[in-house]
Amino acid sequence: MGRDVIVACDFAGKEETLNFLDMFTDVKPFVKIGMELFYAEGPDIVREIKKRGHKIFLDLKLHDIPNTVKKSMAVLSRLDVDICNLHAAGTVNMMKAALEGLTREDGTRPLLIAVTQLTSTDQESMEKDLLIKEPIDKVVMHYAENAKKAGLDGVVCSPLEAGKVHAVCGSDFLTVTPGVRFADGDLGDQKRVMTPAAAKEAGSDYIVVGRPITASDDPVAAYKRCCNEFIG
Ligand code: C5P
């Protein structure tokens, strides 16, 4: 898969989500489904969106004992999603088990990417709550290397970290980056942002864009602008 824009469908329910997707008639954006929508509507929302021809990043961030994650990933494979994810904090063994679970009968599997440290975790909370004393940048890169070691396809990271992740883990190790804003847009609650064009320059493979598209007066135009800037 080449570079692409993934639209974060952070809606509370099915109706709102499908009404949003109905606006896209000539293009079928890659869609991210997160915990809120998945827990509200269950796996049927994934099947419905897939049936409409969208690729899906199912952002459920699994983190449990290896055996449980392996079995859960087998279930997600059967949902025919294109990308799924987990927490690298679950250890290399958990990530390897997840990959083992991700097999399909035809030999294909969804891409599997890891969350390193959540962007809501800062140095202070990492030290105080998690008792991790290393600098957070070092922890993020170490977790990315663990994901690579386990055989995963990439990580979720800030576009500001994409270049370093590629330098450490290789250019074909995917960087999926939220925190994208148009140059003339609202930041919302995102602090460290890049424009789609800058994310392209920084080497992001996929950008995850929510409110700049979902809250726009013209979501289709905003999506196309994003694609033009990021894919060219
Ligand atoms: O609306 P916005 O463009 O900020 O949406 C970004 C999406 O990416 C949201 O679904 C958010 O939960 C997700 N995300 C993020 N930062 C991370 C990981 C995920 O913004 N570090």
Our answer to whether residue 61 is catalytic in this structure is yes
| Lowest-pLDDT range of 57-71, 85-99, 187-201, 209-223 | 187-201
Q: Are 37 and 10 in contact (CB under 8 A)?
A: yes
The reported pLDDT for the residue numbered 188 is 84
Q: What is the mean pLDDT of residues 219-229?
A: 98
* Annotated active-site residue in 14, 50, 61, 164: 61
Q: Are 154 and 174 in contact (CB under 8 A)?
A: yes
Round to whole Å and give the CA distance between 39 and 13: 10
CA–centroid distance, 106 to ligand 1, in Å, is 32
Q: What is the mean pLDDT of residues 155-163?
A: 93
Phi, psi of 114 (to 5 degrees): -115, 145
Structure tokens at 148: 């690579």
Q: What is the mean pLDDT of residues 129-154?
A: 96
Q: Are 84 and 57 in contact (CB under 8 A)?
A: yes
The reported pLDDT for the residue numbered 189 is 82
CA–centroid distance, 179 to ligand 1, in Å, is 6
Burial label, 129 (beta-carbon count in 10 A; 0-12, 13-18, 19+): exposed
Q: How far is CA 196 from CA 8, 130, 145, in A?
A: 15, 33, 26
Q: Is 8 in the pocket of ligand 1 (CB under 6 A)?
A: yes
CA–centroid distance, 102 to ligand 1, in Å, is 24
User: How many C-beta neighbours within 10 Å does residue 126 have?
Assistant: 18
In the chain, the percentage of residues whose pLDDT exceeds 90 is 89
Atom of ligand 1 at shortest range from CA of 181: 3
Q: What is the mean pLDDT of residues 151-157?
A: 97
pTM (two decimals): 0.96
- Which is nearest to 110 in space by CA: 50, 169, 165? 50
Q: Is 159 in the pocket of ligand 1 (CB under 6 A)?
A: no
- Whether the predicted pLDDT of 1 surpasses 80: no
Mean pLDDT of the chain: 95
Round to whole Å and give the CA distance between 164 and 34: 27
Mutate to test the pocket of ligand 1, among 10, 208, 211, 214 (most ligand atoms within 8 A of CB): 208
- Which is nearest to 162 in space by CA: 148, 150, 144, 147? 144
CA–centroid distance, 26 to ligand 1, in Å, is 26
Residue 111: beta bridge partners?
83
Residue 6 in 3-state DSSP? strand
Residue that wins the pLDDT comparison between 232 and 109: 109
- Whether the predicted pLDDT of 232 surpasses 90: no
Structure tokens at 94: 């958990």
Residue at 32: amino acid letter: K
Atom 13, ligand 1: which residue's CA is nearest? 178
Give a three-class secondary structure readout of 113-167.
Answer: EEECCCCCCCHHHHHHHHCCCCCHHHHHHHHHHHHHHCCCCEEECCHHHHHHHHH
- Whether the predicted pLDDT of 132 surpasses 60: yes
